[in-house]
Copies of this chain bind each other. A is one copy, B any other.
Amino acid sequence: MKLLEERIQKDGEVKSEGVLKVGLFLNHQMDIELLDQMGAEWARLFAGRPITKILTIEASGIGIACMAARHFGNVPVVFAKKAKSINLTGDQYQTRVQSFTHGRIFDVIVEKRLIQPTDHVLIIDDFMAMGAAMNGLLDICQEAGCTVEGIGIAVEKGFQPGGESLRERGYRVESLAIVDAMDPQTGQITFRH
């Protein structure tokens, strides 16, 4: 998606060979107009799919998923939680995820009643690198017995294996920008086309 690539090129910050910061517009401050257009693009890409629910994971997926939901007929958005909360009771799907960004292991939790076997789910997240969080969400979908219609990612790090691995497993992954290389010296970002 040209608009997102241009924005990453303009406001993205290459902090090291592996770390791209998009906090000015995507996951600390959020450009609502951009998120809206990203939602429209996923709606175009997944047109015809009978999506009943959008699943994402806290925290930075939530805004993107909500804005996207408007383009899918205001389907409900469910966000997986990253830690136990005393407010979270009843039957839960739970899976363990290793975050490479944060260097820690956490539990991903979704209440069972929020995903039904009849649901057709679109999973949305801001970043895909190793695919660890996404694999956790897919575990939960499999346990729930729902249909995963596709995966929408804002920024995929094409030099890490998460996206390719999911495509090989047969998932339709639509990343709006795929970064193939980043140069922390020059700030140059190379996108896949």
Residues in chain A within 8 A of chain B (CB atoms): 15, 19, 21, 23-24, 28-33, 35-36, 58-59, 62-63, 65-67, 69-70, 74-79, 81-82, 85-89, 101-103, 110-111, 114
Contacts and interface: CB of A to CB of B under 8 A. Distances in A.
Contact of A33 (B74, B85, B88): B74
Nearest to A87: B21
A93 to B, nearest CB: 12
Given A35-B66, A66-B67, A67-B66, A78 B28 contact: yes
Given A62-B59, A62-B63, A67-B66, A87 B32 contact: no
A23 B111 contact: yes
A62 B26 CA distance: 12
B32 A89 contact: no
B59 A29 contact: no
Given A29-B76, A63-B63, A63-B65, 5 more contacts: A28-B111, A29-B114, A32-B66, A32-B76, A36-B70
Kindly name the residue among A63, A70, A74 whose own CB sees the greatest number of chain B CB atoms within 10 A: A63
A15 to B, nearest CB: 7
A127 to B, nearest CB: 10
A101 B86 contact: yes
